[in-house]
A = this chain, B = another copy of it.
Amino acid sequence: MSLVVVGSVAYDGVETPHGRVDRMLGGAATYISLSASFFTKTRLVGIVGDDFASEDTALLAGHDIDLEGLERVPGKTFFWAGKYSDDMNDRETLVTDLNVFAGFDPKLPESYRSQPYLLLGNIQPALQRSVLQQMSRPRLAGGDTMNYWIKDFREELLATIRDWDFLLINDGEARMLSGESNMRKAANAILDMGPHTLVIKRGEYGAMLFRRDSFFIVPGYLLETVFDPTGAGDCFAGGFVGYLAGQGFDLEAGHIGRGDLSRAVIYGSVMGSFCCERFGVERFRTLTRAEIDARFEEFRKFTSF
């Protein structure tokens, strides 16, 4: 009963108003896996170069993340660098060196193919599709995408998400994908594209979950200091799917209720909020399940009436 996570493993250089780190562990699959690992057994599919540090492997393995699917090839690991605006609502990409990630063609280890849960990080839709085809029959499969694929690879993306149970995107991407500026209309249009569950991330404003018959909205957690928002959306995704996987939920079989999905959105929000408290993945070095559950209860306290 484990979750397969596919996506980028990278080194990041990040500058925020709180400081700057020239090189640290990053990448969507890294953030998703670390976040999900607090809820369920996680198996990572990605690619790194021969510069990938043993302490970074150790961090992942220390969270019981299976690394059989982490391919190591000659060359350099994907490197990304960016700088955030003063209010951290915008960021400028300074460097994108794909390096070995340019040749990423995910091949799932045999032991991964029968796992029940799949979360596809933001990579080329054709690769996401190839991964799902390698799985025998996951109970719950879906993923993330981004404006680039929506704009320039629309048909490929539509053919990919048609087979997904869930799609996780941000509000701007939802508007772009649906062509609707109103969120309720945008959600309905996207639910017509295949996924029966849509999660829309709104950054500091929280998240929304839409299904045909219901929706759920949660505001964002109010951090005193947002240190570094890099990876927050991926940590949200990891918490959301990790929680559902950890509970053994099965959307298709109707074994999941509105309450389960809502709680999954809260766990996603909790993990995204912790992510922002330190640079990169630092917060996950010390984070405990007790802290996660305490913040879950905080959400209940500041939203219930």
List A residues at the B interface (Cβ < 8 Å). 86-87, 181-185, 202, 205-206, 208, 214-219, 222-226, 259, 262-263, 265-266, 299-305
Q: Across the two chains, which residue of chain B brings its CB closest to A88?
A: B181
Name the contact of A183 in the complex, choosing from B181, B182, B222 (C-beta under 8 A): B222
Sample 29 A-B pairs with CB under 8 A, ordered by A number: A86-B181, A87-B181, A182-B224, A182-B225, A182-B226, A184-B222, A184-B224, A185-B224, A202-B205, A205-B205, A205-B206, A205-B219, A206-B219, A208-B219, A214-B301, A215-B222, A215-B302, A216-B302, A216-B303, A217-B219, A217-B302, A217-B303, A219-B219, A259-B305, A262-B305, A266-B305, A299-B305, A300-B305, A303-B303
The interface residues of chain A, by DSSP majority, are classed as mixed
Q: A183-B222, A217-B302, A299-B305 are in contact. List 17 more A-B contacts (CB 8 A).
A: A182-B223, A184-B224, A205-B205, A205-B219, A206-B219, A208-B219, A208-B222, A216-B305, A217-B219, A217-B222, A217-B303, A218-B219, A219-B219, A259-B305, A262-B304, A303-B304, A304-B304
Residues of B within 8 A of A301 (CB): 214
Number of copies: 2
Residues of B within 8 A of A185 (CB): 224
Q: How far is the CA of A270 from the CA of B271 in the complex (A)?
A: 30
Q: Across the two chains, which residue of chain B brings its CB closest to A209?
A: B302
Residues of B within 8 A of A299 (CB): 305
Q: How far is the CA of A271 from the CA of B86 in the complex (A)?
A: 34
